[in-house]
Amino acid sequence: MNFEWTPEEAAFRQRLQDFLAVTLPDDWERFSQHGPASPALTKYAETFCGKLAEEGLLTPHWPKAIGGQGLDPWHQAILAEEMWIAGEPRGGQYMNVNWVGPTLIKYGSADQQARYLPPISEGKALWCQGFSEPGSGSDLASLRTRAVLDGDNYRVSGQKIWTSYAGLADTCFLVCRTSDDRKKGISILLVPMDTPGITVRQIPSLIGEGDIHEVFFDDCVVPVSARLGDEGQAWEIIGYSLTNERLGIPRYALARAALDRAVSLLQAQAEFASEAVKLEAAHAAALCEAARMASYAIIDCRSRGEAIGAESSSARFATVMAERKVAEFVVEYLPEALADAHPYLKMHHQRGIVAGIAAGAAEIQLNIIATDVLKLPREPR
Amino acid sequence: MDLALSSDQIAILDAIDSLAKPYAAAPTHEAGFAMVSDALDRELAEGGFLDVAFDPDLGAVSAALIIERLARLPYAIEAAASALVRPLLGDDVSRPLCLVMEGKHARPIRFLKAGATVIVTGHETVSSFTVSQDQARAEDTLFGYPMGTLLIDPATVAMPCPDVSPEAVLVRWRVGLAAEAAGLLAAALGSTATYVTDRQQFGRPLATFQAIRHRLAEAQVRTNGVYWLAMKAAGTLDPGDAALAALHAQESARATVYDFHQFLGAMGMTLEHPLHLWTYRLKALIGALGGRGAQGLAAADAIWG
Ligand SMILES: Cc1cc2nc3c(=O)[nH]c(=O)nc-3n(C[C@H](O)[C@H](O)[C@H](O)COP(=O)(O)OP(=O)(O)OC[C@H]3O[C@@H](n4cnc5c(N)ncnc54)[C@H](O)[C@@H]3O)c2cc1C
């Protein structure tokens, strides 16, 4: 075991930090409060991702054959950490490069790859992910949005909800039902968001403007050629997408950065003297670092090409614990951060609450740990 | 960053597993609060397992791995101080080692007995002495370790160790505590998981009730976190890392120990079931080094100054 970064990994992180320092605008911290999905940040992300692409830093973890540099999962993790700590200036495009692109590389037809990969690697695309529905959240396989074959087309009707970025996205990675079989009856369509019959409605939220939406599909005509993989292959494809996104966003890194910021602000106000405050901060740091190491253990497996399994749920739950503790610390000891005094901390607080819900509720992670890590018998259904 | 075990580390852990096999399945029927085995202790010492950190190529991480693995056994073995702190003092120091904070020597001390070496760590200095027959009294405690009380004030007999820094002792003490707690947590969790899988009530295994599944899953998350923080702290020997690891270990022990017993019902109140051999060691570790408060303050000072 070696817990040091290699000189090359350290240099890569430094290069990212230098790039962020010269590229982000002066008022970035205040600006980033808009949230990754806001119109303002989405617009800025186009410029930012374009510059990242020019530097070879947008898709460095993609294979060389399609414009990446084939960098290993540690580099992907370093990139994700630095971007998320900085308030995610890539906006919703982080999703494109993390899993939409890699999934298209694996399952996309030649036409789909030619159409969708270049805009992603140039930083010009914005995808949204149409999974959840009003009746299907944690129980995704119960989804009901229908795609009915009609000649060379599908006719799609139904409703998605909580869809991030939908308001400004150009394409939807849509999961829909093509037959009644619970899991084998689900297929993926790549649907342009300007397809007639699509209506998007924004849902005001705690986490920032423009983040989540309802998306209605009213008899939309989508060509069969827009299907990713075979009919009924969605469950397998989603599984593959998840291996690229199992750990999700490196929230532990921003949580720790926010904690450090909060402590330095308290120190400047001579309010980091009390033992009670120090103790709470230490507990929060321990949870952040435990989540970081649990995540690194998964990345280490990936970097050696080993399959990663349910342990990633353990890392995710550890991250939820860290997010909560840091948020509670700030609420208790630096409440002005939830007003306008400290935009960086406000940004963290807005986003942190999502950790235990988005991309799989915390209880679902615990279920997975119980069954697949602890090998306990399943709950009756 | 590379978190894989080296081939040497894999070989060492394999060797420990085969050496420990007869002891893993030891009869635990009415074992009392602590189980010790002189034979196991001798085999470990003779096999050089507690000396790995003297070898810079193996280092403190290998020692921490050994401590973690040994803690999973039902027997209490003085491994943490021997494997991690003893390299600061020299290999001629007689085992077991008993770590004591200056001014706290009146409390029961783990593994204290005649022939043991007591290491006293103060703010400025470290000192040590070998315990004689009349200086220690065995204690009958509820903790899962053999314990004794010092009958003298160490200040009257201990000799200074001028080359040993108190900070270095504290760092390694904390790393050892965290590594040992990780092994104890893993064993207690495993034992509880087995019990609730086998035990049926209401026509199904207890393990199918979500209230139990989720609390055990949270214990798994904590156990995993304690393991990795301990290994990282062993790798860096950084005071902040060590304090965070010990803090997380003590906090996680506190958060899980009563759940483990709860899920065994009355069986968890017996000495027939071995669970207490791990949990009542965890209880002893919760209070070590001044408890969570002291680890938290040490961490805060090391990290934020
Ligand atoms: C900010 C944000 C962005 C999102 N972006 C997207 C997106 O872009 N695309 C998309 O498709 N979806 C998105 N989602 C939706 C997300 O995937 C779902 O919220 C998530 O899967 C949970 O579904 P639900 O909200 O319907 O909760 P429900 O399934 O209704 O569950 C509610 C709560 O019940 C508990 N619970 C549920 N099941 C169990 C169980 N089996 N055992 C114990 N407790 C349980 C959990 O505490 C859970 O939080 C987003 C969500 C958020 C918050």
Q: Which residue numbers in chain A have pLDDT < 50?
A: none
Residue nearest to atom 36 of ligand 1 (CA): A363
Element holding B18 (H helix, E strand): helix B7-24
All residues at 6 or more sequence positions from A272 whose CB lies less than 8 Å from its CB, including other chains: A263, A266, A278, A281, B304
How many CB atoms are closer than 10 A to CB B151?
10
Q: Are B153 and B105 in contact (CB under 8 A)?
A: yes
Separation between Cα atoms, residue A161 and residue B272, nearest integer Å: 54
Averages of pLDDT over each 10 residues, chain B, 305 residues: 96 97 78 90 96 94 98 97 97 95 94 98 96 96 96 96 97 98 98 98 97 98 98 98 98 98 95 94 97 98 97
CB-based contact A321 B295, cutoff 8 Å: no
A308: closest CA of chain B, how far (Å): 14
A150 lines ligand 1 (CB under 6 A): no
Ligand 1 within 6 A of CB of A230: no
- Looking at residue B28, its pLDDT comes to 65
Out of A1, A291, A374, name the one closest to residue B193 (CB): A374
> Domain segments of chain B: what residues?
166-304
The pLDDT, as a whole number, for residue B164 is 97
Paired with A216 in beta bridges are: A159, A199
Rounded CA-CA distance A91/A93 in Å is 5
Which position has the token pair 């990290």?
A: B303
Three-state DSSP at B204 gives: strand
Q: Which fold has domain B166-304?
A: Butyryl-CoA Dehydrogenase, subunit A; domain 3 (1.20.140)
- Asked if residue A282 lies in contact with residue B243, where contact means CB atoms within 8 angstroms, the answer is yes
Chain A 296-315, CB below 8 Å of chain B: which residues?
296-297, 299-300, 304, 311, 314
Q: What is the pLDDT of residue A207?
A: 86
CA B24 to chain centre: 17
Which one-letter DSSP state was computed for residue A98? I
Decide if A62 contacts A68 (C-beta within 8 A). yes
Whether a cis peptide bond, with omega within 30° of 0, leads into B96 is yes
pLDDT value at residue A208: 79
Within 10 angstroms of residue B266's Cβ, the number of other Cβ atoms is: 7
* Residue A39 pLDDT: 87
User: CA triplet B272, B275, B276: central angle to 5 degrees?
Assistant: 85
Domains and CATH numbers, chain A: 7-124 (1.10.540.10), 129-234 (2.40.110.10), 250-373 (1.20.140.10)
Q: How far is CA B74 from CA A297, A350, B110, B222, B244, in A?
A: 28, 47, 16, 21, 27
Residues of B in contact with A263 (CB under 8 A): 304
pLDDT of residue B221: 98
| Structure tokens belonging to residue A372 | 């697949």
A3 reaches B (C-beta below 8 A): yes
A285 part of contact set with chain B, CB < 8 Å: yes
Is A306 a pocket residue for ligand 1 (Cβ < 6 Å)?
no
Would you say A27 and A89 are in contact if contact means Cβ atoms under 8 Å apart?
Answer: no
Determine the Cα–Cα distance for residues B249 and B230; give it in Å rounded to an integer.
9
Show residues of chain A in contact with B301, CB under 8 Å. Answer: 278
Interacting residues of B97 by C-beta distance below 8 A, sequence separation 6+: B78, B81, B82, B85, B86, B111, B116, B117, B119
Q: Do B228 and A296 touch (CB under 8 A)?
A: yes
CA distances from A326 to A288, A311, A331, B93 (A): 8, 23, 9, 44
Q: Look-up: residue for tokens 């073995």?
A: B77
Contacting residues for A361 by C-beta, under 8 A, at least 6 apart: A137, A138
Q: How far is B146 from chain A (nearest CA, A)?
A: 30
- Half-sphere exposure of residue B3: CA atoms within 13 angstroms, side-chain side: 20
Write the ipTM. Answer: 0.95
Q: Which of residues 24-83 of A touch B (CB under 8 A)?
A: 74
Q: Are B252 and B181 in contact (CB under 8 A)?
A: yes
CB A338 within 8 A of CB A353: no
Q: What's the CA-to-centroid distance between A41 and ligand 1, angstroms?
A: 25
> What share of residues in chain A are helix, strand, coil (percent, to 5)?
55, 15, 35
Residues of chain A numbered 255-274 and touching chain B (CB < 8 Å):
260, 263-264, 267, 272
Question: What kind and span of H or E run contains B38?
Answer: helix B38-46
Instruction: Answer whether B207 touches A (CB < 8 Å).
Output: yes
- How confident is the model at residue A359, as a pLDDT? 84
pLDDT tens track for A62-118: 998 888 999 999 999 999 999 999 999 999 999 999 999 999 999 999 999 999 999
Polymer length of chain B: 305
Q: Which of A88, A127, A138, A212 to mutate to test the pocket of ligand 1 (most atoms within 8 A of CB)?
A: A138
Res A90: pLDDT = 96
Residue B7 pLDDT: 96
Whether the Cβ atoms of residue A295 and residue A247 lie closer than 8 Å to each other: yes
> What length is written for chain A?
381
Residue A335 gets which letter from DSSP? G
